[in-house]
Structure 1
Amino acid sequence: MKSVKLWLSGVLVSWVIVCFPSIAAAGGYGAAGAQNEVDKVLTLESMLSYALEDEYLARGEYQEVIRTFGGQKPFTNIIKAEERHISWLEPLFERYGFALPVDRGVESAVMPASYAETFPVGVAAEVANIEMYERFLKQDLPSDVRDVFVRLHDASENHLAAFQKWQNKF
């Protein structure tokens, strides 16, 4: 069952990249960047950078959805969560002496043609985000970083469920 879910999530992420090229353009940014590093050993700095970039990307996409389609659920709730996620990550950069990555979230945002089409994009983004955090959590991490990654992984699971619920309404 787990292998089927993993295969399906890979198909979904591939579909979104083909259908929404702006994600491909952001291939080195966020979860897509971490995915490109699959054969490399990730450093603490690169994991934190990919994590923060992916949170920036989520916030940017939800800002654009709200700007384009108005302040509707679930985006009005989830964008607040993205702000919290960013606030959990930023202190880790200072603690470990790393520079914050550039926030390219809005410029990398995927903007579907309709509100209904935002949900498959949200599902794919959360699947990629969850996979990224699962990979990071297999690494030897400082306890404070591990705690934040666990919280972010769990939050992404909640966001995925919300997007799937809303997707089923359309």
Structure 2
Amino acid sequence: MKKWMNGIVGGALAVLLLSGTGVMASEDEELYGAAAVSEGETYTIEEMLVYAIQDEYMAEAAYEAIMDAYGTVKPFTSIAKAEGTHISLLLPLFETYGFEVPENEAEARIELPASLAESFEAGVAGEIKNISVYGQFLEAEDLPDDVRSVFERLMAASENHLAAFERGVTGNPDGAGRKK
């Protein structure tokens, strides 16, 4: 399983790097969302929540831009809607812990992939990164139960989205997107 996952990650990243495109922030901008999370670093609850909601903003904006450019294609339609749900799961945590909700700057930060095929590949790479980020956040000591619960839900959603995007890469995007 790990070799397979490494192959998918490597392939998706290679395509994105070689193509020079992807749904990501521009090089000269401050890191935002999952791109700001470094492996092995520890983060405060506020930082984790900020990076998580920024990443959900990015995903929602990216999938909306992809649909605007290439049509309302599965699974982007359902996953874009899910990103709004993910944002609504995170918002109450900002209030609970007295943190300011960051402004949604995602629309100005995304770059549209050059094709629908590259959009699926970017989706695979993005969901793999999300799974890694939520896994890292869940390793934090003394993570409050409500935050842990939301991060677990978001990680599970990313696993489902990954399966859907992988089907899109192989030319079968119409599946349910559920991890079995």
Matched residues, number: 168
The 1-side partners of 2:30 and 2:15 are apart by 14
- Check conservation: 1:63, 1:106, Cα contact below 8 A: no
Counterpart check, 1:29 vs 2:70: no
The 2-side partners of 1:79 and 1:166 are apart by 15
Query: Would the alpha carbon gap of residues 166 and 76 (structure 1) be closer, same or farther in structure 2, given more than 3 Å must change?
Result: same
How far 1:130 moved relative to its partner? 0.6
Runs of 4+ in 1 over 4 A off after TM superposition: none
How far 1:13 moved relative to its partner? 3.9
The 2-side partners of 1:124 and 1:54 are apart by 13
The 2-side partners of 1:58 and 1:17 are apart by 19
How far 1:117 moved relative to its partner? 1.6
Superposition pairs of residues 1-170 of structure 1, within 5 angstroms: 1-2=1-2, 5-6=5-6, 9=9, 12-13=12-13, 16=16, 19-20=20-21, 22-23=24-25, 25=27, 28-35=31-38, 38-140=39-141, 141-169=143-171
The 1-side partners of 2:89 and 2:135 are apart by 18
Query: Would the alpha carbon gap of residues 42 and 114 (structure 1) be closer, same or farther in structure 2, given more than 3 Å must change?
Result: same
Instruction: Describe the superposition over 1:75-128 as per-residue Cα deviations: whole angstroms up to 9, x where unpaired.
Output: 111111000000000110011011111212211223112212210011011011
- Check conservation: 1:60, 1:105, Cα contact below 8 A: yes
Instruction: Describe the superposition over 1:127-150 as per-residue Cα deviations: whole angstroms up to 9, x where unpaired.
Output: 111100000010121000000000
- Check conservation: 2:25, 2:31, Cα contact below 8 A: no
* Paired AA for residue 144 in structure 2: P
How far 1:14 moved relative to its partner? 6.4
How far 1:161 moved relative to its partner? 0.2
SS at 1:76's partner residue? helix
Quote the RMSD (CA, aligned, Å). Answer: 2.2
The alignment's TM-score, normalised by the length of structure 2, stands at: 0.84
SS at 2:108's partner residue? coil
- Check conservation: 1:65, 1:118, Cα contact below 8 A: yes
Q: Which runs of 5+ in 1 are unaligned?
A: none
The 2-side partners of 1:155 and 1:5 are apart by 17
Query: Would the alpha carbon gap of residues 30 and 2 (structure 1) be closer, same or farther in structure 2, given more than 3 Å must change?
Result: same
The alignment's TM-score, normalised by the length of structure 1, stands at: 0.88
Identity fraction in percent? 43
How far 1:6 moved relative to its partner? 4.4
The 2-side partners of 1:133 and 1:15 are apart by 24
Q: Which runs of 5+ in 2 are unaligned?
A: 173-180
